A and B are shown apart, each in its own frame.
Chain A
């Protein structure tokens, strides 16, 4: 790294133009394209690279190293090679958490994107009175710390919480239940909180995207006889490809790495009904004293997230060209 940096400095010094020049600087002997010398770029990225390496790469490599050991976090670890990977991939108890996170993708990703699109389409068209207020309110959950969100919703879902109060008030007593206490509802209950948090973010992203669309396009669409829905599908939606990719990436990552909501709201329960991969990472490495095993789950989760984000971005770019 330091060698690269010093070479870059030398390059930059050697190639700095000394007087007024007419054309782009061409490095003597360089066969590359004209323009700023490329190596100096390393100098520019060096500070970021150092931080990235120190706080991301090194821990990642260290994590890979730990995943090759059976280690209780205290005494000396035992080398097990790829044993942890084999165990994680064949552990039937770990399948449910990954399935749970797929369910959460619906609530964290699909629902907020659909709701966000709808809201953005409405808000971009109509000049609602107080739309700024609504925008702020819808975006607010994004600003609040997740732990606070989780604690608040834990009370809302409680047997004597607000949801059941409202249901009783309108005569739907038969529907009241301990939302977080029943295996068939707990995961959905957690997921809906994700929808609540994510919708505002998606809406704001899409609103920003829609604001770039020239008014004229809508006008000409109107002249062509397109209704509001048709206008949105033909004019608004295509303009949002980039924002959609961003929204999908952010919400998908949020869904897959969910920990705080589950940890605070349900401790993975009732039973194991709301356990998700990140919760398993924590449980194994911090509580059960199987650090290598927990880290292996974390690495596999990272790989899944990486692949999905790459796919999303490829798809978004691919359509562009």
Chain B
């Protein structure tokens, strides 16, 4: 009797637990990726009734947070029928939670999705984002945003091709990984900001001989190494190759002579002690903080550090594009800030699109510029001072020369993890140049072949 009861109870628990599952395969079908015809797009959204727009963004830093807050307030003032519910999280947190949120029942309307295949690409593939092509036509985004800016937020409808196809997001800011330098240190050492790659190597040697840290660098977090690698690769490899590798498109190879030369150069710099001692055990944040406090001659990192570095170094801070190297072209790892996209689940895509247009307007760009950021467009209409002017100048040059190359860890779903790991191993002396390039080539070719 008791045994029977226990068995029945267990069976009841087990069945209760299994029943809802038996019928459900995980995941959702997503939307049909249906695109709204141009003529159906409503741009006057004051007449759509009361709408709440949920926006997930990662603009938590002062320079972007404040202007966005003001823009949201201005938008709600302009359209009193719209309430913006803003959820902002730091980049890593957003990246992780977005996967769950965007496929859930209460998906936000507007999200800031990372350009990479593993993020935006996966969302497009699953039919969770709306193509913005119709809105781009209506709002004139095709003219407003240069091709390079749109390319990094474009995918084919099946999410397979990256860099081409439908537009899935528009960004607010630009960013690139250039060369920060400490002018006071350069003066002390009697050297100029390097114009060529050879100059740069001489400058590092001079700095090293004088007992300075040539390149301030912390790689405990693994991802910063990709920026150092990209910097060197930009000196050697042709732009087209880097783009093919970065977008995961056919036609290039990691084991090319140029990439081999780049990897050899990077290890040579490590051997010569051009980077901070023990960089693989040193965090990214303490590294740039040390640089901002006057330790280190150069720093290879992104424009997102502008405000923080300027706070430390003031007028001594300089920024330049990577010096021109063997490839003979100016190449710079760069892209836009995370693009804002509209989810498939959004019930008010017209409102969301009007919001996107509003926060990327000329006024908005001025706000981002004034807050110390690098607006993605309308650079020429701003009047920056100090190092911000250097950064703006470099961004303009890069865009005029079509010099932007993608982040290499975007390329394949595996690359997000593989590239940082392998670069860390290469720079730590754990693997040889051939093993390093071989590992990346294997991932690239097996992805491209699929």
Binding site for B on A (CB under 8 A): 1-4, 7, 32, 38-39, 42, 53, 57-58, 61-62, 65-66, 69, 71-77, 79, 154, 157-159, 177-183, 186, 266-272, 283, 286-289, 291
B421 touches A269 (CB 8 A): yes
A291 touches B222 (CB 8 A): no
B278 touches A181 (CB 8 A): yes
Q: Please report the C-alpha to C-alpha distance between residue A66 and residue B24 in the assembled complex, in whole angstroms.
A: 10
A-B contact pairs, 11 of them (CB 8 A): A1-B13, A4-B9, A39-B5, A53-B16, A69-B25, A75-B127, A177-B281, A181-B282, A182-B280, A271-B422, A272-B421
A71 touches B27 (CB 8 A): yes
Using CB atoms, name the residue of chain B closest to A38: B2
Q: Please report the C-alpha to C-alpha distance between residue A75 and residue B122 in the assembled complex, in whole angstroms.
A: 8
- Give the tally of cross-chain contacts (CB within 8 A): 154
Q: Which of A3, A39, A74, A158 has the most CB of B within 10 A?
A: A74
Q: Please report the C-alpha to C-alpha distance between residue A10 and residue B319 in the assembled complex, in whole angstroms.
A: 81
Q: Please report the C-alpha to C-alpha distance between residue A38 and residue B3 in the assembled complex, in whole angstroms.
A: 11
A178 touches B417 (CB 8 A): no
Q: Please report the C-alpha to C-alpha distance between residue A39 and residue B4 in the assembled complex, in whole angstroms.
A: 12
- Contact A4 B5, CB 8 Å, known A66-B26, A74-B103, A289-B413: yes
B29 touches A157 (CB 8 A): no
Question: Chain B residues with Cβ under 8 A from A74's Cβ?
Answer: 27-28, 30, 99, 102-103, 122-123, 125-126, 128
Question: Chain B residues with Cβ under 8 A from A268's Cβ?
Answer: 222, 421
- Contact A75 B280, CB 8 Å, known A1-B13, A288-B413: no
Q: What are the 10 A-B residue pairs with the smallest beta carbon separation, nearest first? A: A181-B281, A178-B281, A178-B278, A181-B280, A159-B278, A74-B126, A75-B126, A271-B425, A4-B9, A180-B281
Task: Kindly identify which residue among B5, B100, B220, B279 contacts A154, using a CB–CB cutoff of 8 Å.
Answer: B220
Using CB atoms, name the residue of chain A closest to B277: A159
Question: Chain B residues with Cβ under 8 A from A154's Cβ?
Answer: 220, 283
- Contact A3 B220, CB 8 Å, known A178-B279, A181-B281, A269-B421: no
In the complex, which range does the number of interface residues on chain B fall in? 35 or more
A270 touches B428 (CB 8 A): yes
Min C-beta distance of A210 to chain B, whole Å: 40
Question: Chain A residues with Cβ under 8 A from B222's Cβ?
Answer: 267-269
- Contact A291 B281, CB 8 Å, known A181-B428, A182-B428, A267-B220: no
Min C-beta distance of B6 to chain A, whole Å: 8
B286 touches A158 (CB 8 A): yes
Q: Mark B275-295, 1 if CB is under 8 A from A, else 0.
A: 011111111001000000000
Q: Please report the C-alpha to C-alpha distance between residue A272 and residue B16 in the assembled complex, in whole angstroms.
A: 41
A1 touches B9 (CB 8 A): yes
- Contact A270 B2, CB 8 Å, known A74-B126, A158-B286, A180-B281: no
Task: Kindly identify which residue among B26, B280, B421 contacts A291, using a CB–CB cutoff of 8 Å.
Answer: B26
B424 touches A288 (CB 8 A): no
Using CB atoms, name the residue of chain A closest to B276: A159
B12 touches A286 (CB 8 A): no
Min C-beta distance of A266 to chain B, whole Å: 7
Within 8 Å of chain A (Cβ to Cβ): is B134? no
Q: Please report the C-alpha to C-alpha distance between residue A38 and residue B27 in the assembled complex, in whole angstroms.
A: 44
Min C-beta distance of B106 to chain A, whole Å: 16
Within 8 Å of chain A (Cβ to Cβ): is B195? no
Task: Kindly identify which residue among B100, B118, B278 contacts A288, using a CB–CB cutoff of 8 Å.
Answer: B118
A271 touches B421 (CB 8 A): yes
**Given A178-B279, A181-B219: 8 more A-B contacts, CB < 8 Å:** A1-B16, A38-B2, A73-B103, A75-B27, A75-B29, A77-B27, A182-B428, A183-B430
